[in-house]
Structure 1
Amino acid sequence: MTGDIVDHAIWNTSIQKNSDVITKVTQKMRTDFPDTPVYPILGNHEPSPLNAYAPHYITDEKVSTKWLYELVADLWSVWLPPDTRETILRGGFYTVLARPGFRIIVLNNNVCYNLNWWLVYNPKDQDGQLQWLADTLLQAENDGENVHILAHIPTGDTECLRTWSREFHKIIDRFENTIRAIFNGHTHNDHFHVYYATNESTRPISMAINGGSVTTFNDLNSNYKTYSVDSATYNILDAETWIFNLTEANINPNVNPTWYKLYSFKDQYGVESLSPIELDKLTHKLAANRSLLEEYSR
C-alpha cells in the first residue's frame, strides 16, 4: 500500500470523512488478506486539510496532524510490532525487520511535497525523519541487513522539495550497498527512477519503481504490480503489471472485471533484472530509440 487511500474529492475532505475511509480500507485489507503482512504508507490525500502534514509539535486541533498519526498507529498495529508506534506518532514513519536479514523502512515523505504548506513554516528536516533514516540505515548496515524503502512521493522531480530530495539522495548514495530497492506511489503512473552516485554521475547506485494505481485517475485502467524478489539478496528480478479493461467493466457493471497480466517488465524490455545497472542500460536505450520510448510511455 503506497498511500492515497482517501479519494480525490478534495473539496469534500474532513477529519471525520478521512478517518472513516482509512478505517474502512484497513478493515477491508484485514478481511481479504488475513494472513498477508501489510506495510502501509501515508499519502498526501490522507490528512485534512489536504497535503498538510504539520510538524509533530503543532498541537492546534484545527491544523495538527496528530489525529491522523494516532489513528493509523492504532489501525496499523494489527500488522506492525509495538516498537513502530513511537515514530508513527512522531511523523508517520517506521521500520520493521520483516525477516532475519531483511528490513523494510517506511517513510512519510509527504513532508517534502511542494503543496505541503507547512514547508513554508518549517523547511528543514521535519520531525528529524531524514536523520532517523540515516541512523536506521547505519544500524542495518552494521547488522548486515538488506533494505527496501517505501515512500509515497517519488524524489528527484519538482513535486518533492529540492533540498529534501538532495539530502535523501546523499543518504541513498552512502548506503548503496544496503538499499536494494525503493518503492513509490503518488503519480498513479507506471515508471522507474535511477539514482546515480553523487561523485560519479554515470554510475547507477539505486533504483525506485512506481507501483501504478488501482484507482483510474486520468486515462488509466486500474492496475497493480507484483514483484519477483531474489530471496537471498532482495534485489528485484522482475515486475508484472496486472490490469482490467475499464471500458469493458463499465459496459458490464454487474460482472466482476477480468484482471489480466499486461506485461512482464523483464520480458517486455529485455532486461536481466530490475537492478540499477540494468535500468541504466534501459534508460539509454529509451533515449536512443523513440519507438521504444513511446511504447514505454504508452
Structure 2
Amino acid sequence: MYKAIQELVPDATFSIFTGDIVDHAAWNTTVTQNILDVTSAYDRMAAAGMLVYGTAGNHEPSPVNSYPPLGVSDSVQWLYDVLSISWTRWVGTRAAETTQKFGAYSTKYPDGNLRVISLSMNLYYVFNFWLYEEPMEKDPSGQFAWLIGELDAAEKAGERVYIIGHMPPGAIDAFHDASNRFDQIVNRYEATIAALFFGHTHLDQFEISYSNYSQRTSDNAVAVSYIGPSMTPTSGHPAFRVYDVDPVTFGVLDVTTYIANMSDPAFRGAGGPVWTKYYSAREAYGPLVSPPLTPLGKSEGETRELDPAFWHEVTQVLEGNSTTFDEFIARMRRGWQPETCEDDCKSIELCKLRAGRAQDNCVPPGSFHLVSSPAEHIPIANLGEHECGGSVFANILGALAGDGEMREWLEVEVVSGN
C-alpha cells in the first residue's frame, strides 16, 4: 500500500493514520508482541518517506481496549512510551510529552496554518472497562479540558484544526455522555475545526455534527467527521483515501478512495495487489446537489468545499434516491458483497450519517431483528460497528433489551430475585 501511495499520489503532503496496528486476535495478545508490532508499523511508515499523524486504536494495548484514566492505573504506560517514541519524529518532543500522559498530542503542520490534534477516543469507548468506576469520571485524564485549551489557543492564533482519533464520536459504542460533551466542544469551535478524521468501523462512512439535532438541516450542520475504510479485508476490499484540500482554509475539496480488489487474480500473485481508484466523492455526489459541484480543476474562480452543508444535502439525496442510496451502501464495503438495506435499515443508516453525537444515531438496543444478511444473519444497521472488537455478551444483552417480554422477565426473575 505504501508503494501504491508513492506512485498514485507522489505529491501527498502528509498522512493520517487512525489507529489499530495489532491484529484482531482480541485477547490473544502480549505486551512484548504489541510493542514489536506498533514499533515496526511506524518504522515502515517512516521508511516509506511519509509524514504521519497517528492516533491510538483500541487494539494497541494488551489486553485489548485497556486505557485506564490518569491516576487510576499505569498499566498502559508502556504503550504511551512506545507511541511517544514512534511519533516524536513527526510531531516533535513537546507534543509527544502529552502522548506519554494519556495518548494524545497537538502539533503544528510545518508547511501551513494548520494544527493537528490527535485524541485518545478510547477514553470514551464502552468496551474500555477501566472507565466503569463509581462515580464515573466526566473527563477521563482531563482530555476534554486539554482539548478546549488547544482549540482556544488555535482560535486566538487564527489556525485551522484537524481533529483525528480512532472511534468516531457518533458510533454506537461511544458513551453518550462523553459524546455529548465532545459535541459541545465541536459546536463551540466549529469555525476553527476544518474537519475530523476517524476509523474504527472499517467502513466507508461519514458523520455530520449539528447545532440542533431535533431539526437537522444544512443550515445548522457545523462539522463533518470522515470515517475512513480499512486495510483489513474482512469488511470489504482493502482501501485507503486521498483528501484534496484547500491550501489556505484546509477545507476538504474531494475524497478519493483507492482499493485493492480481492477478486483480481493479481491480488495473491507475485506482484502483489493492484491498487486502483474506486470512486471520488465529488464526482459521485457533486452533480446531485443543488447547485451541482463542478469537478476539481474544471472551473474558474471559487471552488466549493465539501462542507457540512454539502454532506447534509448528500443525505437528502440518499433519502430520496434509492439508486444513489444503494450505491452508497455498496461503497461502504468498497463493492464487496453489498447488503440489501431498505425501510427501517435505510432510516437507521441515514440517521447514523446525521449523528455526530452518539445519542442521536437511532440504533436501538436489540436492533438485530431489522435486516439480516443472507450469509451472516447480521443486520446492516450494525454491520461493522464492532468489527474493531466488541462483546458478544453485550450484543446478547442488547438483543434482550429490545425484547419487551424478555426484559419484563429479567426485571422480575433476576432483578427482584424471585
Contact 1:249/1:255 (<8 A) preserved: no
- The 5 Å alignment of 1:105-124 reads 105-121=117-133, 122-124=136-138
2:94 matched residue in structure 1: 83
Question: Is 1:191 the equivalent of 2:208?
Answer: no
Look up the match of 1:276.
308
Tell me the residue number matched to 2:141.
127
After TM superposition, give the deviation of residue 250 of structure 1 in Å.
7.0
Q: Structure 1 residues 269 and 117, CA, compared in 2 at 3 Å: closer, same or farther?
A: same
Aligned equivalents of 1:59, 1:286: Cα separation in 2: 46
Question: TM-score scaled by structure 2?
Answer: 0.67
Tell me which of 176, 182, 185 is aligned to 2:196. 182
2:320 to 285, 288, 295: 288
**What SS class does the counterpart of residue 18 from structure 2 fall into?**
coil
- 1:215-254 to 2 correspondence within 5 Å? 215-218=232-235, 220-249=236-265, 252-254=268-270
Matched position secondary structure for 1:52: coil
TM-aligned CA deviation for residue 182 of structure 1:
0.3
1:74 maps to which of 76, 85, 94: 85
2:234 is the counterpart of 1:211? no
Give RMSD over aligned pairs: 1.6
Note the C-alpha offset of 1:249: 4.7
Q: Aligned partners of 2:118 and 2:322: how far apart in 1?
A: 36
> 1:39 aligned to 53, 57, 62, which one?
53
The list of structure 1 runs, each at least 4 consecutive aligned residues, that deviate by more than 6 angstroms after superposition, is none
1:144 equivalent to 2:158? Answer yes
**Aligned-pair CA distance for 1:245:** 1.0
Q: Deviations over 1:29-76 (max 9, x none)?
A: 11112xx3211110000011101101122346xxx1111101111121
Q: How many residues align?
A: 292
Deviation at 1:251, TM superposition (A): 6.5
1:165-194 Cα shifts (integer Å, max 9, x gaps): 100000010011100100000011101111
Which stretches in structure 1 are left out of the alignment for 5+ residues?
none
- Structure 2 runs not aligned, ≥5 long: 1-16, 294-304, 331-418
Contact 1:56–1:65 (CA<8 Å) still a contact in 2? Answer: no
Structure (1 or 2) with the larger CA radius of gyration? 2
What SS is found at the alignment partner of 2:204?
A: coil
Conserved 8 A contact 2:266-2:272:
no
Tell me which residue corresponds to 2:347: none
CA displacement at 1:9 relative to structure 2? 1.2
User: CA contact under 8 A between 2:69 and 2:131: conserved in structure 1?
Assistant: no
Secondary structure of 1:217's counterpart equals helix
Q: Is the 8 A contact 2:118 2:163 kept in 1?
A: yes
* Partner AA of 2:119 in structure 1: L
Aligned partners of 1:173 and 1:198 also within 8 Å: no
- In 2, the alpha carbon distance for the partners of 1:198 and 1:136 equals 25
Counterpart Cα distance in 2 of 1:41 and 1:114 = 18
CA-CA distance at 1:248 after TM superposition:
2.2
Give the drift of 1:275: 0.7
1:244–1:140 CA distance, 2 compared to 1 (3 A): same
Contact 2:202 2:229 (C-alpha < 8 Å) held by counterparts: yes
TM-score (normalizing by structure 1) = 0.94
| SS of 1:226 mapped into structure 2 | strand
Residue type matched to 1:213 in 2? Answer: S
The equivalent of 1:54 in structure 2 is: 68
Q: How far, CA to CA, are the matches of 1:101 and 1:260 in structure 2?
A: 32
The alpha carbon displacement at 1:201 in A equals 4.2
